[in-house]
Structure 1
Amino acid sequence: MTQRTSVHSEEFTDWLASLRAWAAKSPDQNTAWREAAAQGLLSLAVSETAGGAYVGYEGACLALEALAEESGLSGLPFSMAAQMWACQEPILEFGDPAQHDRYLKPLLAGTAVGAFAATEYDSGSDLLSLSTRADQDRDGRWRLNGAKTFVTNGPTADVFLILARTAEGSALSGLSAFLVPRQTPGLRLGRVIDKSGLAGAELGSLTLDDCTVSYANRLGSTGGGFAVLMHAMRYERAFILAPTLGLMARALRQAFNHVRARSQFGRPLSSYDTVRQRLVRMHLSLTSARELLHATARQADARSLDHHRSSLTKLHVSTEFNRFCQELPDVYGGYALLPETGAMALVADAVASRYYSGTSDMQTKIIAEGLGL
């Protein structure tokens, strides 16, 4: 694509159709990441001056949705989205030109994978109890000590964006962010974390034992880690669920095919009001989630995305995803338990969507505070 392409342009429409055709061929997960990046998927929300093909956030969401819908994969689009919003976005916003060259460009090209490591075993959403530390030595280097868990892309990542405490007191001034390459001495990767749902996405843990990086590895200012975190969360919460729209669309299409093809008591399932009402509710959930997320993406393209809107989007899309999946198994009855329907796998994905990037309770708290409650 040429630079500054609109989502409404013929060029982007043709590109999206090409992406759909590629995704429909069931790409090999071992090569799909680089192949998708080569088509430009990872760079859609990145400015041309930073090496991207800036179509915008709406274009990136449409692409992630299309990838999930055509491939039927949940883990791969989720992993890409996690890198795009929680790793690339902060580097783009806070990184200097050297960091863009060393870290951002390989991420956009798919020659490197990025991971954001903030969560700890005992801290979760409680930033004040974050215990990973970074201390500066007399030569200006930073020595990191601590542990992180639930790191999306952790087992395969080439670079980690790590949040650490550099001063006591408030999270507003006591945290800093660091870019740590995988091969840095003192960084040890743990086992892959087993999970239900999001098949193909890898979660891991890591330990930092006097992991030493140079001054140039700090992202943003010393004490500016909270700003890095909030920037990452603003975009991740808004758009991490873009692929689920594609998964819902695929599941709804398959459900329509099922009820039209299967008969009971001499009539197709699609002729029964209870089945039709269920499918209409599923269609409503998908439509509602899609329209809100796309509207949020347009706000981001207009540079007016705030935390209240991001949390509202995350909460609403995950809620509608779960409502959709409450209906889905009953379309199939006992057949829902068979892997080929994909129903139970999607249910697990929906449950998971209530917890990553901040739980639904956390999103509700942020929204309430934004309303002055």
Structure 2
Amino acid sequence: MTHRTSPPDEFTHWLAGLRSWAAKCQRDADLWRPAAAQGLLSLAVPESAGGSGAGYEAACLALETFAEESGLSGLPFAMAAQMWACQEPLLEFGSSTQRDRYLTPLLTGTAVGAFAATEYDSGSDLLSLRTRADRDEGGRWRLNGAKTFVTNGPTADVFVVLARTAEGSALSGLTAFLVPRGTPGLQVGMVTDKTGLRGAEVSSLHMDDCLLDDSDVLGGPGGGFAVLMHAMRHERAFILAPTLGLMARALREAVEHARSRSQFGHPLASYDTIRRRLVRMHVSLTSARELLHATARRADADTLDHGRSSLTKLHVSTEFNRFCQELPDVYGGYALLPETGVAALLADAVASRYYSGTSDMQMKIIAERLGL
């Protein structure tokens, strides 16, 4: 479904407004609806589907700006997870009825979406999925199983759930279901405690004889693999857009620290060891930003493929971790203090290597694209 163009001129003015708003955000406030009211969730959605039609690059710039100015990591990540793994599949595979029911509330922030594919014993191994949906005598679907690491799970109003509906290949044996919160038999687990991505809530999901109709199937019976691949192609490419903003903010603060703090009568910034660290951090940020934005432009031109998505995810997460390896030594012992944000950023960097597929999984996909 081709529906994006380059960011329109008015986007520049909108982005300035977002920057001003985000700079005033309180970290402990409930910001999902206020952020959605800014139009953040609708940028990559075409006007014909109720969005602004600004495009993928615009959406990535907005997520980057939001994270940079607010200093938040979890909320932009959680919103990006909805954008790429819930909204995108609804745009591509959803019926007009499904879009009317779910997409409009998701874009306006009056509903929250979650994608539930990962299970306790199967991450990237789709053939090991145990969640099943079987037809009953009345022709309805009975959904049973459990999911874990469901981003937005604790607050989601609708879940895109991947289940096995036939034996054999994942290409034909999986089906995606739209499961509203409150469906009998659906139980959302407690918030999962974690060290990184503060503000992004994650939980488990349990389904015990959830009764669903064909109208709840997204992409048709047996179409789950296509739904998953579409979601992953976009999520892997763009889920790390907010980290560019976090890196930019951290670099700016590190430079200010190096200029203002003195050792042996001289500013830290006068020492080559510190200067080289800051330059390497700048290189990592610039490299990651250039690749991600170029990937977004490919998506706007409808030429994004899985190899490029995996390349982007791998490269940005790698540079994010390199960036964070340099950061603590700019601060020395002060890096242990919460107010510097160094420890929190390190945790976010480690996490970036695993969600949307591990770095090893991205390498496997890239190698296959190379014919290896």
TM-score, length basis structure 1? 0.97
Match of 2:239 in 1: 240
Q: Does 1:127 align with 2:88?
A: no
Whether the aligned pair in 1 keeps the contact of 2:6 and 2:300 (CA below 8 Å) is no
Q: Write out per-residue CA displacement over residues 230-266 of structure 1, whole angstroms, 9 at most, x where no aligned residue.
A: 0000000000000000000000000010000000111
Distance (Å, rounded) in 2 between the aligned partners of 1:193 and 1:4? 36
What is the CA deviation profile of residues 194-230 of structure 1, one whole-angstrom value per residue up to 9, with x for unaligned ones? 1011001101001100011121000011101000000
Over 3 Å counting, the alpha-carbon distance change for 1:15 and 1:29 in structure 2 is farther
RMSD over aligned CA atoms reads: 1.2
Letter in 1 for 2:72: L
Structure 2 counterpart of 1:149: 148
Query: Contact between 2:4 and 2:301, CA under 8 Å: does it hold in 1?
Result: no
| 2:94 is aligned with 1:99 | no
| Whole-Å separation in 1 of the counterparts to 2:160 and 2:28 | 24
Contact 2:4-2:300 at 8 Å conserved across structures: no
2:180 alignment partner AA: P
Q: Distance in 1 between matches of 2:133 and 2:289?
A: 41
Partner of 1:54: 53
Match of 1:74 in 2: 73
Deviation, structure 1 residue 29: 5.3
* Cα distance, 1:282–1:28 mapped onto 2, change above 3 Å: closer
Partner Cα distance (1:5, 1:99) in 2: 25
Q: Hey, what does 1:199 align to over in structure 2? A: 198
Partners of 1:85 and 1:232 within 8 A in 2: yes
- SS of the aligned residue for 1:52 comes to coil
Q: By how many angstroms is 1:8 displaced? A: 5.6
Partner of 2:7: 7
TM-aligned CA distance change 1:29 to 1:108, over 3 Å:
farther
Match of 1:306 in 2: 305
> Counterpart of 1:253?
252
| 3-state secondary structure, aligned to 2:350 | helix
| CA distance in 2: counterparts of 1:184 and 1:274, whole angstroms | 58
Q: Deviations over 1:249-291 (max 9, x none)?
A: 0000000100000001110000101110000000000000000
1:187-336 alignment, distance < 5 Å: 187-336=186-335
How many angstroms does 1:4 deviate by? 7.8
SS at match of 1:124: coil
Q: Give the CA deviation at 1:6.
A: 4.6
| SS of corresponding position for 2:31 | helix
**In 2: Cα distance, 1:213 partner to 1:181 partner:** 10
The one-letter amino acid of 2:193's match is D
Structure 2 gaps of 5+ residues are none
Matched position secondary structure for 1:7:
coil
Deviations 1:96-120 (A, max 9, x none): 1000000111000100000000000
Partner of 2:30: 31
Partners of 2:28 and 2:311 in 1: CA distance: 32
CA distance in 2, matches of 1:57, 1:280: 29
1:341 aligned partner: 340
How far residue 35 of structure 1 moved from its aligned partner, in angstroms, is 1.0
| 8 Å contact from structure 2 (residues 5, 53) kept in 1 | yes
Identity of aligned residues (%): 79
Q: Equivalents in 1 of 2:191, 2:118: separation in Å?
A: 16
8 Å contact 2:27–2:70 — kept in the other structure? no
Write the distance in 2 (CA, Å) between the matches of 1:199 and 1:97: 35
Cα distance in 1 between the residues matched to 2:30 and 2:49: 25
Once the two structures are TM-superposed, the CA of residue 146 in structure 1 deviates from its matched residue by 0.3
| Aligned twin of 1:351 | 350
Asked if structure 2 preserves the Cα contact closer than 8 Å seen for 1:4 and 1:53, the reply is no
Which letter does structure 1 place at the counterpart of 2:224?
A: G
Give the drift of 1:7: 2.5
User: Structure 1: which amino acid aligns with 2:124?
Assistant: S
For the 8 Å contact 1:144–1:210, the answer to whether it is kept is yes
Q: Please give the secondary structure, in 2, of the residue aligned with 1:31.
A: coil
Which letter does structure 2 place at the counterpart of 1:345? Answer: A
Provide the C-alpha distance between the structure 2 equivalents of 1:138 and 1:43, rounded to a whole number of angstroms. Answer: 41
Q: Would you say the 8 A contact 1:29–1:76 is kept in 2?
A: no
- 2:161 matched to which residue of 1? 162
Residues 215, 132 of structure 1: CA spacing in aligned structure 2 closer, same or farther, 3 A cutoff? same
Shift of 1:31: 3.3
The alpha-carbon deviation at position 28 of structure 1 amounts to 5.6
Any unmatched runs of 5+ in structure 1? none
Paired with 1:143 and 1:49, the residues of 2 have a C-alpha distance of: 34
Q: Whole-Å Cα distance in 2 between the matches of residues 182 and 299 of structure 1?
A: 35
Q: Distance in 1 between matches of 2:94 and 2:4?
A: 22
Q: Give the Cα–Cα distance (whole angstroms) in 1 for the partners of residues 4 and 363 of structure 2.
A: 36
Return closer, same or farther for 1:120/1:293 CA change in 2, 3 Å cut-off.
same
